[in-house]
């Protein structure tokens, strides 16, 4: 395996529905703390309202791809996550997008340094056959302390209603 890959611990694996204070904003810790003090209670209330009608849903991971910063597994269908993102975007009114778009993914590996043998890694990835189904049964609101989700505080947990046959 490629030595520059850092495996994401299973406890940190997740699908992001919305970013309140995304890491790419590059805000200092003190500024983030101030924003949480000022807006945190309202954000949590808006999220709870936005999740009120969300039901459990199934996703299927079918592809593993390399991006410029990580190796990710893509999940389908994306419509329920996209709908949730849209609802949260309207409720939270952050003045910027709450996500990077419609893609639904879980990060598997991050790069510690440039790849030693990108061609070998990409060839191995191309031979993968992935078909993993998961049932989304809960939604967590987390405050990330160490990116990427290596240390976090769970602020709220919502169990999703599961349809029974």
Ranges of each domain in the chain: 5-159
Rounded CA-CA distance 82/14 in Å is 15
For 5-159, CATH number out of 3.90.79.10, 3.40.50.720, 3.90.1140.10, 1.10.3720.10 equals: 3.90.1140.10
Q: What is the pLDDT of residues 119-136, one digit of tens each?
A: 888 888 989 999 999 999
CB 111 within 8 A of CB 69: yes
User: Is the previous residue joined to 68 through a cis bond, with omega within 30 degrees of 0?
Assistant: no
pLDDT grade for 150, boundaries at 50, 70 and 90:
confident
Q: State the average pLDDT over residues 98-123.
A: 90
* Closest of 25, 79, 26 to residue 54, by C-alpha: 79
Measured between its terminal Cα atoms, the distance across the chain in Å is 43
Measured torsion, CA atoms of residues 160, 55, 90, 28, in degrees rounded to the nearest 10: 30
The pTM score is 0.87
CB 88 within 8 A of CB 50: yes
Q: What is the pLDDT of residues 152-164, one digit of tens each?
A: 889 999 999 886 5
Q: State the average pLDDT over residues 83-104.
A: 90
């Amino acid at each position: 395996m490629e030595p520059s890959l850092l495996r994401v611990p299973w406890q940190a694996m997740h699908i992001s529905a919305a970013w309140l204070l995304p890491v790419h904003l590059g805000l200092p810790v003190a500024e983030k703390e101030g924003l949480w003090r000022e807006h945190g209670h309202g954000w949590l209330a808006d999220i709870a309202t936005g999740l009120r009608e969300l039901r459990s849903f199934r996703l299927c991971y079918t592809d593993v791809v390399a991006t410029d910063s990580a190796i990710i597994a893509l999940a389908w269908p994306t419509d329920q996550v996209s709908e949730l993102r849209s609802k949260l975007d309207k409720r939270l009114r952050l003045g910027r997008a709450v996500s990077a778009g419609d893609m639904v993914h879980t990060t598997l590996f991050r790069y510690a340094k440039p790849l030693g043998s990108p061609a070998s890694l990409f060839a191995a990835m191309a031979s993968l056959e992935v078909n993993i189904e998961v049932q989304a049964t809960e939604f967590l609101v987390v405050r990330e302390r160490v990116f990427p989700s290596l240390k976090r505080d769970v602020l709220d947990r919502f169990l999703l209603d599961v349809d029974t046959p």
